[in-house]
Structure 1
Amino acid sequence: MTVNWMALVQVFGATLIVTVLVVTLFVVGIRALSGDKKAGAYASFAGCVAVVLYGLSLIVF
């Protein structure tokens, strides 16, 4: 049995990038909620939901 190290590095990199993206979108949404920019907050949270649903669709299908 051999391990495809390049594929493992690619999955790790993609996971790291997507995690940083979701956390950043969520923090921007929370910061926008504390101000008067409700539409920006909802758009940021919608981006989080879209990324999570896309990830789930990749796992399920």
Structure 2
Amino acid sequence: MDIDWAALGEVFGVSLVATVALVGVFTLGIVGASAGKAGGSQGGGASVLARTGSYACFALCAAAVAYGIYIITAP
């Protein structure tokens, strides 16, 4: 049995970067959603912008998950 350590390292590196990026984008979505609800002394435009940004972050996360499922199930 021969293990291709270079390919294993490449897969590890790509999956680590993708995981950190996806968690970061999801975190930005949560921060944007909570900033949109806080409101406070900020104008209404800031909360709309935060909510729109959080929706975009969540859509990006959903697209990344859907693409991953597609890759796994593709023939």
- Band the TM-score falls in, shorter-chain normalisation: over 0.9
Structure 2 counterpart of 1:45: 58
Runs of 5+ consecutive residues of structure 2 not aligned to the other structure? 36-46
Structure 2 counterpart of 1:55: 68
Aligned residue identity for 2:27: V
Aligned residue identity for 2:56: A
Deviations 1:23-45 (Å, cap 9, x if unpaired)? Answer: 00110000000112110000000
Q: Count residues in correspondence.
A: 61
Spell out structure 1 runs of 4+ moving beyond 6 A: none
In angstroms, what is the RMSD of aligned CA positions? 0.7
Q: CA deviation at 1:56?
A: 1.1
Aligned residue identity for 1:31: V
Q: CA deviation at 1:57?
A: 1.0
Structure 1 counterpart of 2:29: 29
**Identity among equivalent pairs (%):** 43
TM-score normalised per structure 2: 0.78
Of structures 1 and 2, the one scoring higher in RCO (CA 8 A, sep 6+) is 2
Q: In terms of Rg, which structure is larger?
A: 2
Q: CA deviation at 1:52?
A: 0.9
Distance 1:9 1:19 in 2: 15
